[in-house]
Amino acid sequence: MRISDDEIIARLRQGERHLFGLLIERYKDRGFSLALRILRNRMEAEEALQDAFVRAYNGLGNFAGASAFGTWFYRILYNVCMTALSRKNRRERVVISDEAPPPDPGAEPVQPGDYSGVELQDLMRYVVEALDRLPEKYSSIISMFYVQELSYPEISEVTGMPVGTVKTHLFRGRLLLQNEIGKTLQKDEMTV
């Protein structure tokens, strides 16, 4: 039987410190994915994830339970990653208008079921590569929504952005991702 996060936290507060390992096991893969998506560097993502776990462990006394532990932890991780980006002055400066980005005239939109001749594994590689080419502000929101499976309000809480901004970033990010995947698929079809 799986112990809930709330139960683990209650037992941690009673002195069963070894149970923090269960929280690490539950959140390390998705946390690493989020950190890697933001920092785009494996070593930096690993360091940020470790730092976030240490901060979460040390800050358990401040965890009020107003949100899920996962949301609280992702907020810590997000802040650690943002601090790392600003420290290295690597944050991308992207100016986006209020309109959705125009589709690439050379790329046809990718529709579900259009993947004839492309193996699912190749498609996943295309998605990951395309996600890596997106600005961090879009790729991190997409990762939180689809990989971490956070809701709009949870992403808003993690990032500090209003829910409307989260929805806009997700919408724009999906359009950019679709265009990037379409370009890659077209490029691969031309080389075949």
CATH code for the domain in which residue 41 is found:
1.10.1740.10
Query: Is pLDDT at 102 greater than 90 in this prediction?
Result: no
| Host domain of residue 167 | 120-191
How confident is the model over 127-151, as pLDDT tens digits? 778 888 888 889 889 888 887 888 9
How big is the chain, counted in residues?
192
Instruction: Give the residue from 87, 110, 141 where a domain finishes.
Output: 87
pLDDT, one tens digit per residue, over 24-44 is: 999 999 999 999 988 888 999
User: Under a CB-based contact definition with an 8 Å cutoff, are residues 130 and 180 in contact?
Assistant: yes
| Residue 99 within any structural domain of the chain | no
**How many domains does the structure of the chain reveal?**
2
Q: Is the pLDDT of residue 94 over 90?
A: no
H helices of the chain, in order, are: 5-13, 20-39, 42-58, 69-87, 120-133, 136-142, 152-159, 163-191
Q: What is the pLDDT of residue 21?
A: 94
> How much is the pLDDT for 179?
85
Please report, to the nearest 10 degrees, the dihedral formed by the alpha carbons of residues 82, 32, 145, 160 taken in order: -20
| Predicted pLDDT of residue 134 | 87
Same-domain check for residues 125 and 80:
no
- 65: in domain: yes
CA distances from 7 to 23, 28, 45, 73, 166 (A): 11, 19, 28, 16, 31
* pLDDT of the residue at 48: 94
Instruction: Assess whether pLDDT exceeds 50 at residue 182.
Output: yes
Q: Let me know whether 82 and 141 are in one domain.
A: no
* Domain containing residue 124: CATH number: 1.10.10.10
At residue 49, does pLDDT exceed 90?
A: yes
- pTM, two decimal places: 0.63
The pLDDT value given to residue 192: 55
Domain edge (last residue) among 71, 87, 103: 87
Of 12, 16, 98, nearest to 56 by C-alpha is 12
**DSSP labels, 122-171:** HHHHHHHHHHHHS-HHHHHHHIIIIIS---HHHHHHHH---HHHHHHHHH
